[in-house]
Amino acid sequence: MRGGGGHGRVSSGDADAQRAANANAPKIPDLLKRIGNLFAPHRTPLIVTAVLVVVSAGLSVLPPLLTKEAFDVGLFPKAGTPNLPVLIWLVSLMILIYIVSAALGVWQTWLTATVGNRVMGALRVRLFGHLQKMELAFFTRTKTGIIQSRLQNDVGGVAGVLTNTISSVLGNTVTVAAAFVSMLVLSWQLTIVAVILMPILVIAQRRVGRVRAKIATKTQESLSDMTAITQETLSVSGILLAKSFNQQDTEIGRYAAENDNQIGLQVRQQMSGQWFFAVVQIFLAIIPAVIYICAAWLLFHNVPVTAGTIVAFTTVQARLMFPLLGLMRVALDLQTSQALFARIFEYLDLKPAIVDAPNAHPVHASRLGKVQFEDVVFSYPDAGRDTPPTLRGVSFSIEPGQFAAFVGPSGAGKTTVSYLIPRFHEVSGGRILFAGDDVRQIEQESLVANIGIVSQETYLFHATIAENLRYARPDATDDELEEAARAANIHDTIDSFPDRYDTVVGERGYRLSGGEKQRIAIARVLLKDPRVLILDEATSALDSISERVVQQALDAASRGRTTIAIAHRLSTIVSADVIFVVDAGRIVERGTHDELTAVGGVYARLYAEQVTQH
C-alpha cells in the first residue's frame, strides 16, 4: 500500500507547498472581511465594546481641553488672580474623567480578551473539525507536525490580532478623529504643522509591513519544521529508532540547526521596523518643540495664542500621535499576520475529496454483510502519471457471513482493498457495493458504523483500558466491557493488573505486549459489534505464542460476521471460505485452500515457501 508513515524528513515538497500558499495569500481587505466573519457570533459583547471604546475615546480628549481652561481661567485669568474654586472644580472633573476612563478601560479589556480568545478557540476547533473530515490521503501526504503547527503555532500567532484588532482600530480611530477636531478648535494653523508629515510615516509603515510579512512567513515555516522534528523524534517510536541506530546526537544537531534558524528569524522579526518606530518616536518628541516655535511665530505676527492653548494643543497632539502610531501598529500586525491567516484559511478552504452524495442514504439492514467489487480501478492521488494503478479491474463478491481472505506478495494491493470498502479512499473506476448499494450512495457514518477494522499496527490512546475500549461505544457499561474482553480472550490478563480496567496503557499502548494490545483492539471492535470485520494482517507482527492466543480471539470475533482477512501468514486463513490471491493489482486466483494448493499457482508457491521456512 502506498501512503504515509515512517520517519520522513521535512521535505522540500512541504516548503514548496507553503510557498505556493503564501503566493496566493489573501489581500488585507479580504483578510479583514474573513476575520470580521469570525466575530459575527459575538455581536452583543462587540457592540458593548464599541460603545465603551467610543465613550473612552471621547473622554480622552476632554482633559486637554479642561487643561486649557485650568490655565486660562483657573491659574492665569485675565484678572491676574488665580480662581481657586474654578481650578478645583476643573481638576476634580479631570480626576473623575481619569477614574471613569480607567474603569471603562478594564471592562473593555475584559470584553475584548474574552471575545478574542473565544474567537481564537472557535477557530482552532473549527480547523480541527475540518481536518477530521479530510480524506485519508491528505494525512498520508502531510506530516503530522505540519498539521500540529497550523493548529497551535499559526492560530496562536494571530491571537493578538484577534484579541486587539477591533478595539484598537475603533478606539484609535475615534480618538484620532476627536483629537483632530479638538486641535482644529484650538488652532487650525498649529494643526497643519502637526499633521503635515503624517503621509511620510504612512508610506514608511507600509514598506516596513511588507518586510515583516516576509519574515513572518519564514518564521512560521521554521516553526512548522521544528514541530515536525519534535513530533517525529520525541514520540515513542522516534526515540526507539534514534536509540536503536545511536542517532541521538544527529537528531539533537538537526533540531539545534533549525532552532538557530528560528532564533535568527525571531530576532529579525522583532528588529524589523524598529528604526521606523524610532523615527516616529523622535518625530513625536520634536513636534512639541516645533509647536512652541510656530506659536511664537504666530504671536510675533499678532495671532492670539494663549498659554493654555499651547499646553492643551501639545497635549492633544500627543493624544493624536499615539493613536496614529497604534493604527500603524495594527496595520503592521495585519500585514505580519497575513501569512498566518493565509496558512489557516488555506486549510479551512480545503475541500474533502470524499463527501456524502446529496441523495445518500443509510445502509440497508436487510442486506448487511454482502461486499462486492465490480471492475474496480484505483490509483493513489499522489501517484505519478507513469505509476501503474494500485488496483486494476478487481472484481469479487463476498456473501454475508463468509470468511474471505486476501493474500499475495507485499505491495500487491491487499490493504488497499480493505481501505476502499469503508471508503477511506475513492475508487478511480468501477464501483464497490456494500449491502447491495454503491458505497458512494451510502452515508459515510452509516457505512463505517457497520465495519470494524483490526490492523497490524494497533493504536491505543495514552489512557486507561476502559477508556480505550469505550472509544468504540462511549455508553458501554462495565459489564459490556468485560463481556467484550472475555470474547477477545483478554479479560483474565486485564483482571491480573492492579488497576484492572483502569490501567493506563501508555502512549500507543507501549506498557502492554503486542498480543495484549491486539486483543484489546479486538475487544474494542467487538464492543462496536460491526456486521463486517476487516483484519489487516492482525497477527503478522506477533510471536507464535501470541499469535495463537490472538488468533483464538479473532476466530471468536469472526463468528456470525462477514470477515475479510488480509493475511501474511497463510496458516491463519487455511479454513477461509474463499481466498483471493492478489498480484500486481489484480486478482489472479480464487478458491479454497485445498483448491488453490491443487492448482499449483501463486498461492501454492507462497504456501510452500512459508511451510519450508517453518
Output the pLDDT for position 438: 92
SS (H, E, C) 410-474: CCCCHHHHHHHCCCCCCCCEEEEEECCEEHHHECHHHHHHCEEEEECCCCCCCCEHHHHHCCCCC
| Per-residue CA distances from 82 to 86, 305, 464 (Å) | 9, 19, 80
How do strand 532-536 and strand 451-455 relate by DSSP bridges?
Answer: parallel
Output the pLDDT for position 430: 93
Q: Whole-model pTM?
A: 0.69
Output the pLDDT for position 538: 64
pLDDT reading at 24 higher than 50: no
pLDDT reading at 23 higher than 50: no
Residue range 213-223: mean pLDDT, rounded: 72
Structural domain contains residue 157:
yes
| Confidence band, pLDDT 50/70/90 cuts, at residue 222 | confident
The b/e string for 290-315 (b: 16+ C-beta within 10 A; e otherwise) is bbeebbeebeeeeeebbebbbbbbbb
- Residue 150 near residue 192 (C-beta atoms within 8 A): no
Structural domain contains residue 68:
yes
- Residue 225 near residue 254 (C-beta atoms within 8 A): no
Residue range 535-558: mean pLDDT, rounded: 67
| DSSP for residue 79 | T
Structural domain contains residue 450:
no
> What CATH number corresponds to the domain at position 275?
1.20.1560.10
Report the alpha-carbon distance of residue 326 to residue 332 in Å, rounded.
Answer: 10
Structural domain contains residue 190:
yes
* Among 143, 157, 155, 156, residue whose Cα is nearest residue 18: 143
- Range of weakest confidence among 220-224, 449-453, 566-570, 600-604: 220-224
| Confidence band, pLDDT 50/70/90 cuts, at residue 65 | confident
Structural domain contains residue 384:
no
Structural domain contains residue 389:
no
Average pLDDT along the chain: 78
Residue range 572-596: mean pLDDT, rounded: 89
Each as own residue / partner, the long-range contacts of residues 186-191 (CB below 8 Å, 24 or more positions apart, any chain) are 186/68, 186/309, 186/312, 186/313, 186/316, 187/298, 187/305, 187/309, 187/313, 189/294, 189/298, 189/303, 190/291, 190/294, 190/295, 190/298, 190/305, 190/313, 190/317
Interacting residues of 305 by C-beta distance below 8 A, sequence separation 6+: 187, 190, 295, 298, 299
* Among 5, 15, 29, 26, residue whose Cα is nearest residue 339: 26
Cell of 5: 508513515
Report the alpha-carbon distance of residue 328 to residue 321 in Å, rounded.
Answer: 10
| Confidence band, pLDDT 50/70/90 cuts, at residue 290 | confident
Structural domain contains residue 379:
no
- Residue 370 near residue 439 (C-beta atoms within 8 A): no
In this predicted model, which residue has the larger pLDDT, 285 or 443? 443
Structural domain contains residue 34:
yes
Output the pLDDT for position 544: 62
How many CB atoms sit inside 10 A of residue 4's CB? 15
Residue that is written with C-alpha cell 473593555 in the block: 108
Report the alpha-carbon distance of residue 350 to residue 126 in Å, rounded.
Answer: 13
Cell of 538: 492482525
- Cα distance from N-terminal residue to C-terminal residue, the chain: 26
CA 464 from centroid of its chain's CA atoms: 26
**Domain limits for position 319:** 27-348
pLDDT reading at 166 higher than 90: no
With 0-12 / 13-18 / 19 or more C-beta atoms within 10 angstroms meaning exposed / middle / buried, residue 37 is exposed
Q: How many domains does the chain have?
A: 1
* Tens-place pLDDT, residues 337-379: 777 777 788 888 888 888 888 998 998 877 788 899 999 999 8
pLDDT reading at 20 higher than 50: no
Output the pLDDT for position 13: 40
Residue range 379-387: mean pLDDT, rounded: 73
* Among 18, 12, 312, 316, residue whose Cα is nearest residue 154: 18
Cell of 526: 467487538
Residue range 327-339: mean pLDDT, rounded: 69
- Residue 288 near residue 317 (C-beta atoms within 8 A): yes
